[in-house]
Structure 1
């Protein structure tokens, strides 16, 4: 079962595609462009459609989703952690 998808292996985050991801769950992901599988452990509960980090990120790092810069971190984010408004901001403002 695929729990999250990633566009390219250079992305920072993947998108959860199933309901009910809980902290501690072992997750399987699919990196679409390279047709690779990836596995990691969820460090947070993550709703469907939300992002999870697939790389460790420091505060101020750029976050890449689907090959596009979607903002910068405002706090460190560990692999498997929910990546959303609590730790990510747009660079537009």
Structure 2
């Protein structure tokens, strides 16, 4: 139904707004690259091609602190998306 679709769209918009805006479009969308589809389309926080990729050197605190999960457990579920250092 239309009301269900609008609720789903609103939830997706809220999810996008909650993400770190400084990291918006800094890496390629895994869904699009693996399946050829992305349910978020233009609202996706990941880049849908090299033309959408942006760099993050302007972020002063990006990866300055060590990732506690990585250093305590040896792994991090965020992988390359993690805002903390694995080095």
More strand by share: 1
More helix by share: 2
Larger radius of gyration: 2
Task: State the TM bucket, normalised to the shorter chain.
Answer: under 0.3
TM score, norm. by length of structure 2: 0.26
Does 1 or 2 have the higher relative contact order (CA < 8 Å, sep 6+)?
1
